[in-house]
Protein backbone atom coordinates (compact mmCIF):
# COMPACT_ATOMS: atom_id res chain seq x y z
CA UNK A 1 0.00 0.00 0.00
CA UNK A 2 1.16 3.52 -0.68
CA UNK A 3 0.90 6.42 1.76
CA UNK A 4 -2.76 6.94 0.73
CA UNK A 5 -3.71 3.32 1.40
CA UNK A 6 -3.90 2.44 -2.31
CA UNK A 7 -2.47 -0.85 -3.57
CA UNK A 8 0.92 -0.47 -5.30
CA UNK A 9 0.34 -3.51 -7.49
CA UNK A 10 -2.16 -4.00 -10.27
CA UNK A 11 -3.76 -7.34 -10.94
CA UNK A 12 -3.72 -8.26 -14.62
CA UNK A 13 -6.12 -11.07 -15.32
CA UNK A 14 -5.92 -12.58 -18.79
CA UNK A 15 -8.41 -15.09 -20.07
CA UNK A 16 -7.72 -16.09 -23.65
CA UNK A 17 -11.38 -16.36 -24.58
CA UNK A 18 -12.24 -12.74 -23.78
CA UNK A 19 -9.16 -11.08 -25.26
CA UNK A 20 -8.12 -7.94 -23.46
CA UNK A 21 -11.58 -6.59 -22.72
CA UNK A 22 -11.40 -3.96 -19.99
CA UNK A 23 -7.60 -3.66 -20.09
CA UNK A 24 -5.75 -0.42 -20.68
CA UNK A 25 -3.61 -0.28 -23.83
CA UNK A 26 -0.49 -0.70 -21.69
CA UNK A 27 -1.87 -3.73 -19.84
CA UNK A 28 -3.02 -5.29 -23.12
CA UNK A 29 0.49 -4.84 -24.55
CA UNK A 30 2.11 -6.40 -21.48
CA UNK A 31 -0.26 -9.38 -21.55
CA UNK A 32 0.21 -9.80 -25.29
CA UNK A 33 4.00 -9.78 -24.91
CA UNK A 34 3.89 -12.26 -22.03
CA UNK A 35 1.70 -14.61 -24.07
CA UNK A 36 4.02 -14.34 -27.08
CA UNK A 37 7.12 -15.14 -25.02
CA UNK A 38 5.37 -17.97 -23.15
CA UNK A 39 4.20 -19.51 -26.44
CA UNK A 40 7.78 -19.41 -27.81
CA UNK A 41 9.18 -20.90 -24.60
CA UNK A 42 6.64 -23.74 -24.68
CA UNK A 43 7.35 -24.42 -28.34
CA UNK A 44 11.13 -24.45 -27.81
CA UNK A 45 10.83 -26.73 -24.76
CA UNK A 46 8.51 -29.09 -26.64
CA UNK A 47 11.05 -29.40 -29.44
CA UNK A 48 13.91 -29.92 -26.98
CA UNK A 49 12.22 -32.60 -24.87
CA UNK A 50 10.85 -34.38 -27.96
CA UNK A 51 14.40 -34.64 -29.33
CA UNK A 52 15.53 -36.08 -25.98
CA UNK A 53 12.67 -38.61 -25.78
CA UNK A 54 13.31 -39.68 -29.37
CA UNK A 55 17.02 -40.22 -28.63
CA UNK A 56 18.28 -37.39 -30.82
CA UNK A 57 19.81 -35.54 -27.84
CA UNK A 58 21.21 -36.74 -24.53
CA UNK A 59 19.11 -36.52 -21.38
CA UNK A 60 19.87 -33.31 -19.52
CA UNK A 61 21.32 -33.35 -16.01
CA UNK A 62 20.67 -31.01 -13.14
CA UNK A 63 22.85 -31.15 -10.04
CA UNK A 64 24.26 -34.45 -11.28
CA UNK A 65 20.84 -36.08 -11.59
CA UNK A 66 18.87 -37.14 -14.65
CA UNK A 67 15.12 -37.69 -14.80
CA UNK A 68 13.79 -41.06 -15.78
CA UNK A 69 12.54 -41.48 -19.33
CA UNK A 70 9.03 -41.88 -17.93
CA UNK A 71 9.29 -38.50 -16.20
CA UNK A 72 10.69 -36.98 -19.39
CA UNK A 73 7.66 -38.28 -21.32
CA UNK A 74 5.28 -36.82 -18.71
CA UNK A 75 7.02 -33.44 -19.02
CA UNK A 76 6.96 -33.74 -22.82
CA UNK A 77 3.20 -34.23 -22.80
CA UNK A 78 2.65 -31.26 -20.49
CA UNK A 79 4.86 -28.83 -22.36
CA UNK A 80 3.76 -29.96 -25.83
CA UNK A 81 0.10 -29.72 -24.79
CA UNK A 82 0.78 -26.17 -23.57
CA UNK A 83 2.58 -25.36 -26.83
CA UNK A 84 -0.35 -26.54 -28.92
CA UNK A 85 -2.92 -24.65 -26.79
CA UNK A 86 -2.49 -21.27 -28.48
75 contacts 67 by C-beta, under 8 angstroms: yes
Return the percentage of the chain with pLDDT > 70, whole number: 87
21 or 43, higher pLDDT = 43
- Give me the pLDDT at residue 80, please: 95
* pLDDT, tens digit, 9 for 90 and up, residues 25-60: 888 888 889 889 999 999 999 999 999 999 999 998
How many Å apart are CA 19 and CA 23, to the nearest integer? 9
Cα-Cα end-to-end distance for the chain:
36
- Give me the pLDDT at residue 30, please: 87
- Give me the pLDDT at residue 14, please: 59
Amino acid sequence: MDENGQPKESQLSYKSKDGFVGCSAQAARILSDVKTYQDKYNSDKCTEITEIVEGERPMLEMDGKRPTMNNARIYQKQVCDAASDK
